Structure 1
């Protein structure tokens, strides 16, 4: 299986069956990501070195305007897209196998977790995984320790309060908070 075939599989939302060729490819690719992240997180890295390692992790050029404060964690890397001017604070964990796209100018607070895979509910099939992408719009601000679950889209300009667990889509230009997160008011700004 090639990376392109794997990405076609998960980006179409097809099941990753435990023990399958697709599952094996995912685990093998994870080892490459873990090696890159060990290098990223193992010592001080200049902003340029961080971006170079992120480019290796994602398989695409990361813009000079992107800032990531290590440590940073990703179990796959090759299905992660970072827009211009994205800032990711320390200790974030991205499970990007199912696809994570972060729009221009978005800020991700420290300790935030973005997940894109759900395991099967049937205990006999628990190793099966269903990929669902996470999409973060432009100029979004996730507070510290926000968790975003598979399949969620957060609209442009939205703000997510610290500690929130986002289980449903959040409209543009709104503030959401809580567990589970719910929209509490508009931001007062439209962009």
Structure 2
């Protein structure tokens, strides 16, 4: 199965059944992505070399403002869309089968997990994966060790506090934190 067809099926169907042709095609892409991530994470590279390697992982040309500190792990890679001037700190893990979209000028802290998959609750059907995208709008700031779960959109200018688990959408211009993440303040109230 060609990548374009695989991405289309993943987006339109929103589910991958264990052992299916879609699952096999996804695993093949994931195997290559693991190899590319291992190469990225085991060398010393310039910012330009890192951008080139992340471009291979995502299949997307990245702008000069993109910056990433290794290590970095993507489960699939080809369903990550990165805006301009995005910064990703070390230790981040992106489970992107359901799609991860990161808007311009966004900051991702250390050890952030973006997870776009849920498995079936039926213990005899756990190989089935349900996919929902994560969208980080422009100028979002995701604090260290935060986890964002499938289907969440973080609005423009929003901040997710360190260590938070985000289970539902975050309104633009707000700060959320905790487990599960809840409203803390408006960003404009913190600007001096």
Is the structural similarity TM-score above 0.5?
Answer: yes
| Alignment match, 1:135 | 135
Task: Summarize the alignment of residues 45-124 of structure 1 with structure 2, pairs less than 5 Å apart.
Answer: 45-124=45-124
Size of the alignment, in residue pairs? 189
| Alignment match, 2:159 | 159
Counterpart CA distance in 2 for 1:74 and 1:14 is 19
Q: Does the 8 A contact of 1:13 with 1:132 survive in 2?
A: no
Structure 1 alignment gaps of length 5 or more: none
| Alignment match, 1:16 | 16
Which structure 1 residue ranges, 4+ long, deviate > 6 Å from structure 2?
A: none
Q: For residue 104 of structure 1, report the CA deviation from its aligned partner.
A: 0.3
SS in 2 for 1:9: helix
Alignment RMSD, CA only? 0.9
Counterpart CA distance in 2 for 1:122 and 1:2 is 30
Q: Deviations over 1:74-95 (max 9, x none)?
A: 0110000111000000000000
SS in 2 for 1:188: helix
Q: For residue 14 of structure 1, report the CA deviation from its aligned partner.
A: 2.6
TM-score, scaled relative to structure 1: 0.97
